[in-house]
Amino acid sequence: MKSFYYILAITAILSSCTKQLHKDPIGLLTPDQINTDPKLGTVTSSVTSSYQMLSSTLNLLGEWQWDGGTVTRNDFVLQDIASGDMQKKWNPDGDQAWMDQYSNYSFTAANGGFNGQWSYDYEGISRANLAISYLTDPAVTTKIGIDETLRKRLLGEVYFLRAFYYFELVNNFGDVPLLLKPLKNFSEAYSVAKREKKAVVMEQVSKDLAEAKPLLPNTKFSDNTEKWRASKGAVMAMQAKVALYGKKWADVIAIITELEGLGFYGLNTNYFDAFSVAKEFADNEVIFAYDHQQGKNPRNGNGLCALQGWGFIAPTANFISAFEANDPRLLYTADVANQACYKLLGTTDNSNKGNDDAPNNKIFIRWADVLLWKAEAYNESANYPAAIGIINSIRARARTSPSVTGALPPAGTLPARNIAATDKALVTSWLVSERRVELGFESQRFYDLKRWETAKAVLTAMGKNFQDKNYLYPIPQGEIDKSGGSITQNTGF
């Protein structure tokens, strides 16, 4: 059994094998179980469990396996620390030294952060694959008597989730194994223990999103009683993001224009409303977020708040200097005096700081981010007034938002950019600056630097040892070893 687990390490498919290294996946059942006793609850729980690897809940995979990178999702390490925006702690020390290696690019393929990202994404994919196999099997759906509207909606959700996980994997690691169904035997396991070309994986991402879109209802929330579920708006936003990363500017503009036409989303009046626990699922801006809830069994709280209580998650001086005078977004992102990141705490009173079961959500897609994608596409298409207009709308919302203290910024804060500008490089610089301060600590900056192909110039100017090979992260060394070498390593590692 142990050797079988090694082959399947990337999938965590069989719960009897994964018990050896971490807890049973919550809500995940094997094909044998559903074939012998299929029930509606079994299928719906398989869908719900597919969301869980987006959570920042502590110890979903293992118990305090810091060295394995699985204590929580590592977005803040692989994206925010690596981008030069964040440092590990307010008072740097030797605790979890593996995180510091992302600041200076001294990591090797054995660094646990890569294993954590890989494990979370492939665990999510394996759960989505299981749910898809149930929902597309007429024998199963007939036996459980699932309503066709519900079946379609749930299927749309897991197609979206599989696409989301693969999009993360490709942008972190490049070519990755492509798994599209639950694995049942050694032969199937061996056949997928190899890397598929990035282009092929991205084709599947686009296919999954295209499948998901018509399956989800034409409403802001897929389910008004469980508003956290993936929606048609989330699918369309991901389609726009895929187009953005593929530099398909006309598609970006068209998709976001269609999304705007639905009338579901807009910029909140107050910048912090998107992050406030009190405004969850009642604001205008959040498109997709993981719904953390406290006091649940099994636990479902936001463990990043606990890390903040232990001194983790702090800004770099370079990041702080990127904000213009009196920009209220700075203190919401990094309050140096109080050593707090309120955006990641969900409150401005530090009540969640140190809480390992905090209720605040993890935001993955919000409207300001999407609008800035459209601005970028307009800029690349030489429609400078449209691009600048969007940038100015983001700045206007910021300068009219109250600060952490409740006071409005003084007059003259964040003045509008010159709408008549026609210098593409200048508009690009405005866009780059706006994305950094608007989306700070939301795990977007490093992805941006890589896709703009400016990561080397920006990070070396900050004194970091970024090399060309770092545009991709190394495949976790443990996965290569467990595959017997059939999974290959990225160049330079």
Residue the block writes with tokens 């300068």: 399
CATH topology identical between 1-215+462-493 and 248-452: yes
Cα separations (Å) of 295 from 57, 279, 292, 359?
Answer: 12, 19, 10, 9
Question: What's the CATH code, domain 248-452?
Answer: 1.25.40.390
The residue ranges of every structural domain in the chain are 1-215+462-493, 248-452
Residue of 489, 476, 479, 468 whose CA lies nearest to 9: 479
| Residue in 374, 370, 315 with CA at minimum distance from that of residue 343 | 315
- What's the whole-model pTM score? 0.93
Measured at the CA of 123, the angle between CA 122 and CA 127, to 5 degrees, comes to: 110
Contact 245, 450 (CB under 8 A): no
279-305 residue pLDDT tens: 999 999 999 999 999 999 999 999 999
Q: Which CATH architecture has domain 1-215+462-493?
A: Alpha Horseshoe (1.25)
Residue whose C-alpha is closest to residue 79's, from 344, 445, 454: 445
Q: What is the pLDDT of residue 191?
A: 80
Q: How many residues does the chain have?
A: 493
Alpha helices in 177-292 (DSSP H): 186-192, 198-215, 232-245, 249-262
In order along its 493 residues, the chain shows pLDDT tens digits of 333 333 334 444 333 333 333 333 333 334 444 444 679 999 999 999 999 999 999 999 999 999 999 999 999 999 999 999 999 999 999 999 999 999 999 999 999 999 999 999 999 999 999 999 999 999 999 999 999 999 999 999 999 999 999 999 999 999 999 999 998 776 777 788 899 999 999 999 999 999 999 999 999 999 999 999 999 999 999 999 999 999 999 999 999 999 999 999 999 999 999 999 999 999 999 999 999 999 999 999 999 999 999 999 999 999 999 999 999 999 999 999 999 999 999 999 999 999 999 999 999 999 999 999 999 999 999 999 999 999 999 999 999 999 999 999 999 999 999 999 999 999 999 999 999 999 999 999 999 999 999 999 999 999 999 999 999 999 999 999 988 889 999 999 9
Residue pair 447/471 in contact (Cβ under 8 Å)? The answer is no
Ramachandran region of residue 78, left (φ > 0), alpha (ψ -120 to 50) or beta?
A: alpha
* Terminal Cα-to-Cα distance of the chain (whole angstroms): 30
CA dist 314 and 109 (Å) reads 25
- Residue 388 confidence (pLDDT): 98
Distance CA(454)–CA(436), nearest Å, equals: 14
**Residues near 344 by beta carbon (within 8 Å), at least 6 away in sequence:** 275, 304, 305, 308, 313, 360, 441
pLDDT in the model for residue 185: 72
Confidence at residue 37, expressed as pLDDT on a 0 to 100 scale: 65
DSSP 419: T
